[in-house]
Every structure is written in structure tokens, then in C-alpha cells.
Structure 1
Amino acid sequence: MMREQSDVIVCGGGLAGLTLAYQLRKENPEASVTVVERTTRPLPEACHKVGESSVELGSHYFGEVLGLKDYLQAEHLKKNGLRFLCGDSRGPVAERPEIGPAEFPIVPSYQLDRGKLENDLRAFCEELGVELLEGEHVRAIRLGKDGAPHEVETSAGTLKGRWVVDASGRRRMLSKQLGLRRPSPNASSAAWFRVAERVLLNELVPEGERLWHQRDIDGNRWLSTVHLMGRGYWVWLIPLSTGYTSVGIVADAEHHPFGTFNKPEKALAWLREHEPVLAERLEGRELEDFRLMHDYSYLTERMISADRWACVGEAAAFVDPLYSLGSDFLGMSNCYAARCIGDDLRGTLEADVVEALNETWVRVAEDAARTLSGNGEVFPHGDIFGAKLWWDFFNYWSFMCAHFFQEIWREDAATLRRFLGMQARYYALNSHAQAILEAWGALKPTPFGGRKRFIGLPSFPSTLADQHLSLQEDLDVEGTWAKMESDLAIGQQLVAEILAHALRDLGPETAAELGRRAGLDASWGLPLAGERIDADALPRRQRIEKLPRIARDMERALGRVDPGVPLSELLARALGTGAEAGAEAEARA
């Protein structure tokens, strides 16, 4: 039976499809929107899906773009940022370097109970007039040609729509049909489950460790997404508003074959081997809703087309859960799709806008994949991973968040193209940063690095804290561009300081190999010369006065290693220009 045509058919009524339908009706009240979803209500409130933890961009999308801030604060848990514990995973938790917020972040994010959220979103969508076809299964999508409507064949009949949006998650109907999948450099897998009680980080540390417990001044450490880091893996602990705790294992194939944790009993045995303190806390608890994602990461060459189709959320790409970016990519893809659909319904859609938005989204996903792959040797070291987090968060807030928060995606094609040029510059700098960090991790001679027991993320006051707070600013296009330019210069200083920390930590014997592995070249243009190099050799008090602010911030956060060799000599060796001078210095010593 042929049904009446809709303006938009959304294939899939999970988080991506429901939020897009809600957004479309809010922004285009006259548009007819149909969502086809195979499951029916009520969904179990503690249902277990990846995507429970959100960060700044995704939270901004849910709270501000969709207008759900009051609902989220009333019905879900406000999140105390991301928290990471590195070091000896088999040793006492109190002795592991802890990296995370010292105070509750001002820019909000949330721990989402997906079952409750999706139940409520279905009701919200119906209140706005979305047609929700529950219990229907999408069997096929047939794209119309030359402006003809698309057809969606379901278990109950055939639908026609001007636009069709694939929100089918990892089923990726359109991506498979059109051959859009691109491989990701991230070869990792995950297993996760939930337990019907709170599993608190503080419970893993004896009460006698008073200094450790005193760092949690307000008793809200448990509201963080906790990451227990080890070589080639990390384990998450996420509290849910229903009283459950989500527990997940994420591991790369190089260090931890999928078959070692792909069943409940194997996962528990794996935890006993790698995270014994947590395993002891979970002993005897029922593992509910055990789930798996093997080789989970994939990219795409296209998420939206001027031919009136789009892929949103995981139907487009999935990078990695380490930084909880799933809802970020969901929010970006939904906004890009909603903007283009709205333009089309008003008769103003430009193909150049579609192409620029698609290129922006695809590049952001590629950049995130570069950031979140090859980190297995970085994770155990509090100093290296701390440096990585400083850079990754600064980079994330400087471009990806700024582009979204300031709604650059609503601008014309010329402006979007202009910002693509800025994006490419950030991408290049990020590639340099990741190369240094990966080489540093691979060459680290000790199994666990990092002298600091606690690294604030961000620490106050600091350049990083200022960058986080700047997300609250309301800037126009030129103001956003100027800030990105300024932040890029600070970012170059930050990457230079990461290189300086790596060189001092590894010392003269390994400096040349660090440079070789990272592909270090003077053409990178890192500001590590002149007065900055001279200041490094000064006594501490004078050095602190002369160093740029970002260098002082990094030294305060990560500490400082003195290898007994000037930074200028270490840098020369890393660049391949100081080998003879280094050999002479060693001979004299």
C-alpha cells in the first residue's frame, strides 16, 4: 500500500533519528516528518547503549539547540567531566596518576540514561506532530532520481518522501548501499555491560588514603566518566540516573585480542588480570545486557547529499568512545542535515553549501580518528597522557566546539569554505602533536610514567581553563575567525611544549630517535627557539618569569624532568642537526 508522501522520512528512531525529527519540527513547523522504528514502547529505562556519556558539543546540541536543558538537568545526571587514571593498573588505585577536573565544570555535560531519554523523546516528537511508526522494520531504501521522491519499503508498506535520512545506526543502510564506508586507522573492539548498583571510584580506594579522598572536596568524583587506563586498553565506569553503572572494556587488537574479553566470563577474567581492584568490586554481581562491538571504528566519504539524503549519527561514522564524542558527531550531522532540509523546503538550498558541510563533517571525523588511534603505548603514562589530554582538549574546544557553538554551519558557502581552510591548519597541527605523543610513548623506557599524583583537567588558573570558559562566549563570524587564529598560535606553543617535555623526559640518547619517529622537521614552525630556548636553561625562578604562559601551565601540570643537557642540544639532535656536538659533549662528560 502506498502511503501519502512526507517531506522527510527518518529510517530509525534511536537517539539520532528522534533528535533530528524533533529538531526538524521545531525549526520547520509545517514540515511533515515520519520516523520508522522497529521497537515499540515502553523501552526499559535502564536499557544499555553506547552513548550514555556526553561532552560539551553534544550537550550543547541537546540542551541549547534542541532546548532540552531543563529536562536534562531534572531527569539525568549532570556530569563531572572526564576522569582518567593511568599508571600501574594492578597496583593500588590511590597511587595511580589521576587526571580530571578538580571542580565541577562550568560548561555543562550529562550522563544520559538512554532508555529513559529515548522513551521521553518519542513522546516529545509526537507532541510536535512527528509521525512515529513504531513496530515497523525498514527493508529497503530506493533513492529517487531527477527530483523524484525517495521510497522506503517497510514491513507494513511503502512510504514516499522528498528527503530520506538514514538513522539506522551501525546497520548503515545507505552507506552500505552506496559504498560510502571508509576504513578507520583505529583497530579496537569493545565489550560492555551494566550492574544494578552504583560502582563508585572512591570505593576502590581504602578510607585510610585520606589525601586521595580529600581531593574530592564536594563528593562528586563519582559523577565523572571514569577511565582506567592501561597499555592498549581502557575501562569505563559511567553512573546512570536509574542507579545502574555502565562498565566497558575498550582494547586495541595489537595488545588485546578480541577473543580474550568477548564473553561475560572472559571479560571478568580479563578484568581480574588487568584491573584486579575493579574486578574484586564486581565479584558476584550479575552482568546485565552484555554487549559487544568488534572492530567498531569506521569512517565515511559522505554524510549528506544534494540529492536529498543524509546519514546521521552512527549511520554515517563511528570513531571511538574514549572522549565520549558520539553525541558530538550525532549533533553535528543532525544540524547539517536539518539546515539543508530546511533550506530545501524553503527553496533556497545550494549545492555548494551541502558540499562544504559534508567536507567539514568528514574532515572532523578523520581528525578525530587520527587523534584516537595509535595510543596504546601512551595510556599507561600519566605524564604523556596528561600532555595528550591538554592538547586534545585544547584542540577540541578551539575548532570543533567553536565551529558548532558559534553556528558557523548556518553560514553561506563562501564562509563555510573559508573555515575549511582554518580546519586544515588545525588538522595539520594535530597530526604533528599526535606524532610526537606516539613516538614519546613508544620510546618511554619505564612501564609507567608521571610524577604527579593529580593533574587538573583543566586546572585553574590556566590557558586550558580559559579556553574551556570561552565556549560561553557569543561571537560573530569575524570574531570566531579571529579567536581561532589566536588559538592556533597558542596551539603551536602548546605542541612545542609537548615536544620540549618529551625531549627532556627521554634525554639525549633518545632525542634523535624521537625526531625520526615523529617525522620532526623545522618546517613545522613550532615556536621552540630564541628566547624560549634561552629561558629553559635559567634557574627555576628566572625561568618561570621568562617562559610563555602555556609553558608555565604545562610545567605546573606535568612537572619537569632535567636531563642535564640543554634543550637546545636535545632539539638539535631531534632535528638531526646536533649529533656531532652531542657526541663531543658526551665525550667531555
Structure 2
Amino acid sequence: MNDKKNDKTYDVVICGAGLAGLTLARQLKQTIPDLSILTIDKLNRPLPEIAFKVGESTVEVGACYLANIIHLKDYLEKNHYPKLGIRYFFGDGCDAFQKRPELGLSRFHAPESYQVDRGKLENDLRKFNSEDGVELLENCSVKEINLAENNGDLHQITYSKIDTKETGIVKAKWVIDSMGRRRFLQKKLGLAQPNNDRYNASWFWVDGRLDVTDFVSQNEQEWHDRVPEKNRYFSTNHLCGDGYWIWIIPLSTGATSIGIVAHEDYHSFESYHSYEKASQWLTKHEPILASCLTGKTPKKFMKMPKYSYTSDKIFSFDRWACIGDAATFPDPFYSPATDFIGFANSSIVNMIELDRQGQLTEKTVNAANRFFLIYQKSITKSIQTMYHCLGNGLVGTMKVIWDTLAAWSFSAPLMFSDIYLDSQKRNKVYSKSGQFFLLTNRVQHFFRDWSEKSSGKISFGFVDYLALPFVKELRERNLQLNRSEEELIQDHLANIEIFEELAQAIFIIAIADIMPEQLNKVLSAGWLNAWAISLDPNEWEKGGLFKPKSSPRDLQRILDPLQSNFSITILELERQFLDTKQEKETLCL
């Protein structure tokens, strides 16, 4: 091996040139043009544009970061697919596909989100960054990061060229670990923490268009008319069953990404951790998809056991940070990865700006760590509750609607109105959020209980969630750019009111599903304490269910749109129960 040689000194060295590192470099250059930036990565261009990396699906927060914060909107619209939301097919995968309960969108809505081919995007970002003056060392592996011992010293990064084994050293005021699941700094510093070891995934890519629309005969005209022009193809399609979900993602480069994600308690990882076993697993659980894959050879197969993890810290006042998969990995169910990249990158840009002005404080860094890690923990907890609901279309749909609205109402404004960097403003806007988090914690436990007890009597064919007026209201209110502080405060208070109503509506639907004999008692109360909902009637009085702390409002604006999609209404279920009860009493006489 050649001797180490001293190289340049930079303001920022980013170790790893994946999506997180490349977008950070771009954002830094756009914000602080005179910053000297080096990125180091083990891969050479051209990166493969098919079967490269997962993380292809974006949602509104991450899409806002890519399109508006780092100014890729025109590029994304020209080079990658628009996304028709996440679409969920619940129920028995062995049943006729058109019979599965479906939750999704009928048409595209602004603001946009995208399906991105990671290879193409990362190739192009490397090109854009180079044109903007960001240096890139390719075909180089980071061997060591020696952190500065004193705040005024420089970090030292040792790298090795993969082909020649020649080594070099660069120095930097700031060093960023963006080397993915290698998690170099976290492991070096003993910061790495697991989230839960019961969740595993495997995935692969196939050439060509694999379209869920083709899973259903064209004779099923009503099913096809729900989503015109075969546009289901442009959704991130989730096939959901007991303890598992499968993603199907279309890519503009002509391939399809397919992944299996499951809870170990339901499905052993060994049953789908190779392509041969995954094919057998799909034949058993999702035979329609399996039949469409017959004869196709995967471009690449990958697997990831125990994929979820977190950290004690991702930002340091000592001028280092971890981003992307080198920071945390929650769960891919709601496609949040790019959201986290956006929040982490923007926080780092803010810290480097403050550092250059001599105004960076430990308090600022600690606040950024606290916000990011609490946010990541709450998203992970919410998603991991979902696995116990995936086999039930009704419960799964109610939970997805709740979680989606929570993301729009509480996460989206952080990015769309840029308030996550200002803790004082954020705290002022969300001063009443404590009651929401108590409510959502109650509701999340409620969903799990409901999924275990559901009778299955209430079913539906298709719910277009943006056809629900209260859902549309929340989306339009919260997914706006640059709202004023006063507008955000009023939005937040209005959001909490809708969640209070939605929690009561969900409770009433669950009672109709599980214990219709209690419906009259619940409905006659008119207005409930949403923070006391429970499926144990013995807890209702003690918990204060019938002693609400807010003024009554009309629940029908939530209940009526929801149950208009159901095969049977709440009142019909109550009548059925009363008729059955009367028949039994007559027989006894």
C-alpha cells in the first residue's frame, strides 16, 4: 500500500454520496456558495439506473424538500414519475383481486410527490453538484474518521482508493457521515441503538411494467372506472395481509421495484430471504402477483433483517453529524426516508451557517437532536402498530387515514412553512399539541385492540380518501407553503378539533363492528370524551367517556362520508342486532 499523503482542507467533508449526502452538498452550495465541500464515495459513475437502491417512493414532505428546498421540481417532473399517492389493498391475497378493500386516490392532486429511480437521480445529482463546484472523490472508501479533540481543531478523514489501494488524508471543519447502514460514526462512538428486531425485508427489481390494473379482468368495469386511465400504476401500491405488506413501485427507467416487509411473529424471515423462497412465499400469500412474476428473472435481489434502528445522537456541537441511513432508519411503510433526509440536512445547513457567524450553541444542537429523534421515534411507533392491523381492511383503513392526516397536520407544516429550524416558533405554533399526542397515543392502542376483536361485518370496496371532505380540508389547509405564524397557530387548533371528531367517529364505527349492543348508549350521549375511548365498557364511566371537556359539535361531517363507503351503515348494524335480540327473546318465550 502506498504511503498516506496529505491532501486539502475543506469546510465540509461528506463521507458517502448517496441521496442524503448528495442533497446535503447541493443544499449547502445553494445556501452558502463559497463553502468548500468534498464528497467521498466508494462507487464510480455511471451508477446503475435499474436495481440500484430502494427508497424510491416519496411523500409530500420529502417531495417538498426535493422540489422546493433544493430546487429540483422541474427536473423531477421531467425525469421521474409523478406519484398517485400510496394505495393499499387489504384482505385475503388469495381472493379475487377486485374484491380486496382498496384505499387510495382516483386522481392526482397538488402538491406533487414522485417515484424516483435512485440510480438516475444520484447520477444526475453528482453531475449537478460537480457543476456547482462540489468536489467528488469516487472509487474511494473511507477508512477512518479521527474527530477533532478540541472545538477549534480540524477533523481528519483517511480514505483509500479501491483500485490502487493508494491512501490519502483530508481535513475538515465539519465532517458528515452519510455512509448508510455502515453507521461509521455511531458505531465508533457507541451511539447506535436498535428500534425493534422483529421486522425484516427483502426486495428485488424486474424489467418492464408490472401494473396492478392488470391483476383484474377488463370485464370488471366498475373496478377499473374507480381510477381512470389505468393510473393505479403510478401509485406506490401496497398489498397488505396479516403481519406483512408488499410494495410495488414503478420507475421511469422501465423497471418495477418489489419488496416484502413483514413482522417476524407472523412470517419468519427465512421464508422469504432468497428469491426462490420469496417466490414460494408470494405463491402462498399473493398468488396473483406471483403469477405475474413467472418467467421473470430479477435484476437484483437484496435482503435486510432487523432493519429498524435509531441513535442516541445524530448532530454534535463538535461539528459532526450523521444523515440518511447513517443516522436512523424508522420503517418504510409510509415512505418517510426522504422526509428525514430533508429535516436532517436542513438542520445541518442551519448549524453550519450559525457556526460561520460564531452563533452556534450547544443548546441549538441539542434542540435539533431532540426534535429529530423524538419525531423519528413517534413515526416508528405509529408504523409498527400498523402490522397488527394489516389483515383487516376496515381497521387498517381507519388507521391509515388517521396517520396520514397526522402527517399532513403536524409534520408537513414543519417543512412547508420552515418552522422546524426555529424552536421558539415551533413551540409557539404547537403549544397545544400535547393534547393531540395524548389523543393519538390512545387511538393507536385502540386500533390494535380493535384489530384483535373485529367481527368483519363492515366491509367496503373502495375509499378515495380525498373524496372525504374533512380529509380534503386538512390537506388543503396544511400542505401550503410559507404560512404565517398566526395562520399556523389557527391551523393547528382547527386540526385538533377535526382529530377530536375523527377519534369519536372511529370509536362509534368500532362499537358498531364489535359490540352493537352498546351503540344506543354511545350514540345517545351525542358527544364524547375522545381521550377516553376504549373497547372495554367497564372503563367508560371510570375513564370519563361520557364527560367531554369540549363543547359538542356535529359528528356527522366525519361519520357520514366514512360510512357512505361501507357495505352496511352503523344504524343498519344496530337494527340487525335488535332484530336478532328480539328473535332470541321470542324463541325463549
Tell me whether the two structures share a fold, i.e. TM-score over 0.5.
Answer: yes
Tell me, what secondary structure is at the counterpart of 2:342?
helix
| Residue of structure 2 equivalent to 1:440 | 450
| Residue of structure 2 equivalent to 1:154 | 159
What is the CA distance between 1:235 and its match in structure 2? 0.8
What letter corresponds to residue 177 of structure 1 in structure 2? Answer: K
What letter corresponds to residue 543 of structure 2 in structure 1? Answer: A
Match of 2:194 among 174, 183, 193: 183
What letter corresponds to residue 304 of structure 1 in structure 2? Answer: F
Q: Distance in 2 between matches of 1:122 and 1:551?
A: 50
Assess, with a 3 A threshold, how the Cα gap between structure 1 residues 143 and 436 changes in structure 2: closer, same or farther: same
Are residue 522 (structure 1) and residue 533 (structure 2) matched?
no
What is the CA distance between 1:29 and its match in structure 2? 0.4
Match of 1:469 among 447, 467, 476: 476
Q: Distance in 1 between matches of 2:214 and 2:138?
A: 42
Are residue 128 (structure 1) and residue 132 (structure 2) matched?
yes
Match of 1:193 among 180, 204, 213: 204
Are residue 352 (structure 1) and residue 373 (structure 2) matched?
no
| Residue of structure 2 equivalent to 1:163 | 174
Aligned residues: 555
Check the 8 A contact 1:370/1:431 in 2, yes or no: no
What is the CA distance between 1:302 and its match in structure 2? 1.7
Assess, with a 3 A threshold, how the Cα gap between structure 1 residues 525 and 293 changes in structure 2: closer, same or farther: farther
Q: Distance in 1 between matches of 2:493 and 2:56?
A: 34
Are residue 49 (structure 1) and residue 53 (structure 2) matched?
yes
What is the CA distance between 1:210 and its match in structure 2? 1.1
What is the CA distance between 1:131 and its match in structure 2? 1.0
How do residues 107-146 of structure 1 correspond to structure 2 at under 5 angstroms? 107-146=111-150
| Residue of structure 1 equivalent to 2:14 | 10
Check the 8 A contact 2:60/2:111 in 1, yes or no: yes
Check the 8 A contact 2:213/2:230 in 1, yes or no: no
How do residues 280-299 of structure 1 correspond to structure 2 at under 5 angstroms? 280-299=291-310
Tell me, what secondary structure is at the counterpart of 2:8?
coil
Assess, with a 3 A threshold, how the Cα gap between structure 1 residues 13 and 564 changes in structure 2: closer, same or farther: closer
Q: Distance in 2 between matches of 1:530 and 1:522?
A: 18
- Greater Cα shift, 154-163 or 422-431: 422-431
Deviations 1:374-432, CA, capped at 9 Å, x for gaps:
33331122211111111001100001111111100232x43345457555444332211
How do residues 349-498 of structure 1 correspond to structure 2 at under 5 angstroms? 349-411=360-422, 413-418=423-428, 424-446=434-456, 450-460=458-468, 462-470=469-477, 471-498=479-506
| Residue of structure 2 equivalent to 1:570 | none
Deviations 1:2-53, CA, capped at 9 Å, x for gaps:
2221111111000000000010011000111111101011111113312111
Assess, with a 3 A threshold, how the Cα gap between structure 1 residues 506 and 495 changes in structure 2: closer, same or farther: same
Check the 8 A contact 2:430/2:489 in 1, yes or no: no
| Residue of structure 1 equivalent to 2:64 | 60
Point out where structure 2 has 5 or more consecutive residues left out of the alignment.
Answer: 161-166, 520-532, 576-584
Q: Distance in 2 between matches of 1:320 and 1:517?
A: 35
How do residues 335-346 of structure 1 correspond to structure 2 at under 5 angstroms? 335-346=346-357
Match of 1:560 among 534, 551, 569: 569
Tell me, what secondary structure is at the counterpart of 1:286?
coil
Q: Distance in 2 between matches of 1:210 and 1:282?
A: 25
Check the 8 A contact 1:382/1:450 in 2, yes or no: no
What is the CA distance between 1:185 and its match in structure 2? 4.1
Check the 8 A contact 1:507/1:563 in 2, yes or no: no
What is the CA distance between 1:243 and its match in structure 2? 0.9
Q: Distance in 1 between matches of 2:500 and 2:227?
A: 33
Check the 8 A contact 1:304/1:311 in 2, yes or no: yes
What is the CA distance between 1:530 and its match in structure 2? 8.4
Q: Distance in 2 between matches of 1:332 and 1:209?
A: 44
Assess, with a 3 A threshold, how the Cα gap between structure 1 residues 221 and 520 changes in structure 2: closer, same or farther: farther
Match of 1:233 among 239, 244, 253: 244
Assess, with a 3 A threshold, how the Cα gap between structure 1 residues 473 and 14 changes in structure 2: closer, same or farther: closer
Q: Distance in 2 between matches of 1:426 and 1:256?
A: 34
Q: Distance in 2 between matches of 1:518 and 1:181?
A: 40
What letter corresponds to residue 515 of structure 1 in structure 2? Answer: D
Q: Distance in 2 between matches of 1:179 and 1:509?
A: 55
Assess, with a 3 A threshold, how the Cα gap between structure 1 residues 177 and 521 changes in structure 2: closer, same or farther: farther
Q: Distance in 1 between matches of 2:56 and 2:185?
A: 25
Check the 8 A contact 2:56/2:117 in 1, yes or no: yes
Assess, with a 3 A threshold, how the Cα gap between structure 1 residues 383 and 528 changes in structure 2: closer, same or farther: farther
| Residue of structure 1 equivalent to 2:108 | 104
Tell me, what secondary structure is at the counterpart of 2:200?
strand
What letter corresponds to residue 556 of structure 1 in structure 2? Answer: S
- Greater Cα shift, 139-148 or 120-129: 139-148
What letter corresponds to residue 561 of structure 2 in structure 1? Answer: D
What letter corresponds to residue 380 of structure 1 in structure 2? Answer: G
Question: How big is the alpha-carbon RMSD for the aligned residues of Structure 1 and Structure 2?
Answer: 2.8
Match of 1:503 among 503, 508, 511: 511
Assess, with a 3 A threshold, how the Cα gap between structure 1 residues 95 and 341 changes in structure 2: closer, same or farther: same
Are residue 72 (structure 1) and residue 76 (structure 2) matched?
yes
Point out where structure 1 has 5 or more consecutive residues left out of the alignment.
Answer: 533-545, 567-584
Tell me, what secondary structure is at the counterpart of 1:332?
helix
Assess, with a 3 A threshold, how the Cα gap between structure 1 residues 123 and 284 changes in structure 2: closer, same or farther: same
What is the CA distance between 1:264 and its match in structure 2? 0.7
Check the 8 A contact 2:505/2:555 in 1, yes or no: no
Match of 1:173 among 184, 201, 225: 184
Assess, with a 3 A threshold, how the Cα gap between structure 1 residues 551 and 270 changes in structure 2: closer, same or farther: same
Check the 8 A contact 1:186/1:373 in 2, yes or no: no
Tell me, what secondary structure is at the counterpart of 1:189?
strand
- Greater Cα shift, 416-425 or 338-347: 416-425
What letter corresponds to residue 436 of structure 1 in structure 2? Answer: F
- Greater Cα shift, 11-20 or 180-189: 180-189
Match of 1:273 among 256, 263, 284: 284
What is the CA distance between 1:523 and its match in structure 2? 6.5
Check the 8 A contact 2:83/2:113 in 1, yes or no: yes
Q: Distance in 2 between matches of 1:478 and 1:348?
A: 27
Assess, with a 3 A threshold, how the Cα gap between structure 1 residues 450 and 289 changes in structure 2: closer, same or farther: farther
